[in-house]
Structure 1
């Protein structure tokens, strides 16, 4: 009897389930589109990439910097390298072992490990000691010679030179205040030197000129400090110029977004109140501790660059198939797979994300929101670049986008971005992920350098969420041993903290693995952001 009761209960439940599924639906909810309201919550768990120790981590966070160390860097700002044009030049095939080795190093720096390995093999086949020749040619001033036996002391004692007193950097620059701007050397010996009109310009006029240069392009302002000692003094001690640059929206923090300012399609989100900015122009602002100057604020605090593209080069190996006529596996081929991730940020809060195997030289000059939409339009292969947005070519004229770039841009995704707030707000943002009580984990945007990106998915049902963090590049050991080690710009890398996919229909989160992915590195592009 008990078995019959259980069987009847199962039959009744089964009939109810069939009846419920067979009922016609009264209304079908519309399919979600990328223009839907912002996500109500962020990923339910933290990504395993947030616990990954990046090999290229530069050191402690900003809050633990030593004030004495920062005080020694007053007025210092790294001059960015010249903007790259990403134009393909006709390359001459290397012939000697050293040329193959140099080409291999160049390909390895670009992330193309397949071609790099091929050139390394050709170089060592031609010369087994080619690495020594390369080291002697490019790093002869860095590598130290073996210790030589100390010579015997001379019979007569030689006079020792007087010890040179070391002057701190900020005191040395301060001594340049009253030095006049020097004239150029004469072109021909024993002839008058060429005129130097700026040498007679008053200091207040020079400062006004430098202010306009700094607002137009801070990197150009930094290069002007290398002209003479007088301009180096103004570069370091005219802090009102740096304050104006920090408050500006073109390169400074006035153009940073600390909450989403647009939707996934780039349409602005209007709010009644003013948007948060760390250094407003209409209110008195102070330099955040432990920094001591506005030049350090501009150099140190996290900010997104709009004058170039962030590139992540990904390499991984996979085994190839063994030939059908071979029974051994020791000679199976190994393939090196290379692909690239690109991110281009816009001042309006939008972003373009691209995942492709196309090399940067073929696609970077054409990455834009307009070209992505044109590539998605069927039959549109003659889309012209917008000169005001993309910048002109090397010849100064606009040209159609190549087919290889249009094929790659078809997979471009539009999105939006925002940084974590620089100060603790009284009411935490709804976008910050709040773990369950007792978990002991920090919120998702727990660092001032964190950045959150939302982009379109492969389908309108999905939204991709990227959690990245700004970092500074490290100096290679070979460069550290040089007499004047370089000081690279800060906050030019984006390291991975997490990558998820959100299904709007089912309200499910999926986690992307980032085992092979590497950090994004900023590369400035000629003409971008300088219109």
Structure 2
């Protein structure tokens, strides 16, 4: 009898659960859940099947569903003023909480593109509880042009006049190099008038000789190559100088600020940043005192600068890692499909310095809260404060750890105390000249790498007897298909991660199952005048 009573109780609870789930969509938002629901594959609902039928009638779906493109389109709806081209993305702005189902769906797309899968899942659940057809409304709002059928061509109408119209002459298609060369003698056009039917503002630079323009571009290129690239979009005359003046690109390649004279192909300092050799002893693949040749298969110095392996000092490399783990089931939960699954997100940060040092940080703090304050000085100050056994009080908020103008918030200070100092070097593209002054490198497991894109990083471990060794490799985004794409060498993919015990001379390898590649993000003011 007791078994029958328990069976009836289970059946009654199961019927109530099924009845509650089969009710029409509610107009109230669900309370925020502490953990994500179990990731199970559910059968399609009626509205999902109807949407799929509409897609078959209207046409094929898009070729790809890019979350970054969706986030960009949603961001364009903001009334905020447009950012400058070189502004970083690590400034926090006020964000209103979404109310409607469509707003929750748009916020979920933004969170998913940023790698915050837990927050994205919560907004998706709220959106579907408010409106089970919100995905169709989102598609109609942001992708109506994708599903729009092309207009039917209008049949030729009989001519009412006897005049004959000559057939259009097809324009000759020139190669890119000849097309840019044709811009050499074009004048610099004036700006558009501010008010309609008024003369345009004066353009003094249009009367400047070409020699002076090249000298101006020379200073712009050495100050910020990215600004030099944006000047090519101003007019055709600047585009010609951008592509034709290869001596400017060779000067950028030889500069220590952005070029390969600032790269290191052996360790230049120890783990604490103390230099090992002087600047004059540094090896560089493009010295200034010998005749230079463009390495094959490249054909110009601009391609050398854009394609050759190069570490960037004007920003930070970020690796966003997401993984799931099973949560503890409640004592009141008797079925496994109702057990929670947590989505864990953490970040790895790497900031490189021209002197051969590097800063590594592993934390769960989001980039907007910690990236502006990542520096060697702030990390050492945060670690010193932590070792003294006291934390910054609320009344101390506003003081900078490293003496900088911007204060370090408590959230960033708590994360920076786990930062580690280290050193880095690239693999030499050519055999290094033998020198007795070169320091003996730290042994690495396996055979040494010969790929010039490889990067070796050594950082402090959790204990002074340990040294962490990272083996990374420079790569370009998957969308980069041409040598002229400026977004090359912006990824660092993992090739190995080890821990070296200096006392026992043992190596231990870390697993990289959940780790993802580092992606470069520019930060305003870092490495720029």
User: Structure 1 residues 385 and 525 mapped into 2: Cα distance closer, same or farther (>3 Å)?
Assistant: farther
1:166 positional shift: 2.3
1:108: which partner in 2?
Answer: 112
2:284: which partner in 1?
Answer: 277
1:505: which partner in 2?
Answer: 503
1:472: which partner in 2?
Answer: 476
**Cα distance in 1 for residues equivalent to 2:135 and 2:114:** 19
Q: How does 1:56-71 map to 2 (within 5 A)?
A: none
1:243 equivalent to 2:250? Answer yes
SS at match of 2:469: strand
Q: Deviations over 1:36-77 (max 9, x none)?
A: xxxxxxxxxxxxxxxxxxxxxxxxxxxxxxxxxxxxxxxxxx
1:194 positional shift: 1.1
Q: How does 1:184-199 map to 2 (within 5 A)?
A: 184-199=191-206
The answer to whether the 8 A contact 1:260-1:416 is kept is: yes
Q: How does 1:122-141 map to 2 (within 5 A)?
A: 122-141=126-145
1:530: which partner in 2?
Answer: 528
SS at match of 1:227: coil
1:363 positional shift: 0.4
User: Structure 1 residues 137 and 491 mapped into 2: Cα distance closer, same or farther (>3 Å)?
Assistant: farther
1:294 equivalent to 2:315? Answer no
2:426: which partner in 1?
Answer: 419
User: Structure 1 residues 147 and 197 mapped into 2: Cα distance closer, same or farther (>3 Å)?
Assistant: closer
Match of 1:225 among 232, 243, 246: 232
SS at match of 1:330: helix
**Cα distance in 1 for residues equivalent to 2:332 and 2:426:** 57
SS at match of 1:282: coil
- Please, which runs of 5 or more residues in structure 1 have no aligned partner? 1-79, 391-397, 436-440, 481-485
The answer to whether the 8 A contact 1:246-1:252 is kept is: yes
Q: How does 1:351-362 map to 2 (within 5 A)?
A: 351-362=358-369
Q: How many residues align?
A: 428
SS at match of 1:377: helix
The answer to whether the 8 A contact 1:456-1:464 is kept is: yes
Match of 1:173 among 156, 180, 200: 180
1:84: which partner in 2?
Answer: 88
Greater alpha carbon shift after TM alignment, 332-341 vs 194-203: 194-203
1:334: which partner in 2?
Answer: 341
Match of 1:370 among 377, 397, 403: 377
1:266: which partner in 2?
Answer: 273
SS at match of 2:185: coil
1:122 positional shift: 1.7
**Cα distance in 1 for residues equivalent to 2:138 and 2:116:** 20
SS at match of 1:166: coil
1:98 positional shift: 2.4
1:133 positional shift: 3.5
Q: How does 1:295-310 map to 2 (within 5 A)?
A: 295-310=302-317
The answer to whether the 8 A contact 1:308-1:528 is kept is: yes
The CA RMSD measured in Å over matched residues stands at 2.9
Q: Which has the higher contact order (CA 8 A, sep 6+)?
A: 1
- Please, which runs of 5 or more residues in structure 2 have no aligned partner? 1-83, 160-164
1:384 equivalent to 2:388? Answer no
1:473 positional shift: 0.9
The answer to whether the 8 A contact 2:323-2:343 is kept is: yes
Q: Deviations over 1:379-404 (max 9, x none)?
A: 474652658xx7xxxxxxx2320011
Greater alpha carbon shift after TM alignment, 287-296 vs 102-111: 102-111
**Cα distance in 2 for residues equivalent to 1:206 and 1:294:** 20
1:433 positional shift: 7.2
1:96 positional shift: 2.1
**Cα distance in 2 for residues equivalent to 1:271 and 1:231:** 39
Match of 1:205 among 212, 217, 225: 212
Q: Deviations over 1:445-487 (max 9, x none)?
A: 22111000000000000000000001111239xxx9xxxxx95
**Cα distance in 2 for residues equivalent to 1:161 and 1:433:** 70
**Cα distance in 2 for residues equivalent to 1:219 and 1:457:** 36
1:237 positional shift: 0.5
The answer to whether the 8 A contact 1:454-1:463 is kept is: yes
1:410 equivalent to 2:430? Answer no
The answer to whether the 8 A contact 2:319-2:348 is kept is: yes
**TM-score normalized by structure 1?**
0.75
**Cα distance in 2 for residues equivalent to 1:105 and 1:196:** 44
The answer to whether the 8 A contact 1:432-1:445 is kept is: no
The answer to whether the 8 A contact 2:460-2:468 is kept is: yes
User: Structure 1 residues 272 and 244 mapped into 2: Cα distance closer, same or farther (>3 Å)?
Assistant: closer
**Cα distance in 2 for residues equivalent to 1:472 and 1:139:** 29
The answer to whether the 8 A contact 2:455-2:471 is kept is: yes
**Cα distance in 1 for residues equivalent to 2:444 and 2:434:** 13
The answer to whether the 8 A contact 1:475-1:488 is kept is: no
**Cα distance in 1 for residues equivalent to 2:138 and 2:373:** 35
**Cα distance in 2 for residues equivalent to 1:272 and 1:242:** 23
The answer to whether the 8 A contact 1:385-1:399 is kept is: no
**Cα distance in 1 for residues equivalent to 2:167 and 2:101:** 47
2:80: which partner in 1?
Answer: none
1:342 positional shift: 0.3
1:165 positional shift: 3.2
**Cα distance in 1 for residues equivalent to 2:497 and 2:227:** 36
User: Structure 1 residues 488 and 248 mapped into 2: Cα distance closer, same or farther (>3 Å)?
Assistant: closer
1:312 equivalent to 2:319? Answer yes
User: Structure 1 residues 173 and 386 mapped into 2: Cα distance closer, same or farther (>3 Å)?
Assistant: farther
Q: Deviations over 1:115-143 (max 9, x none)?
A: 011111222223333334334444445x3
Runs of 4+ in 1 over 6 A off after TM superposition: 150-153, 155-160, 426-430, 432-435
**Cα distance in 1 for residues equivalent to 2:178 and 2:137:** 43
1:69: which partner in 2?
Answer: none
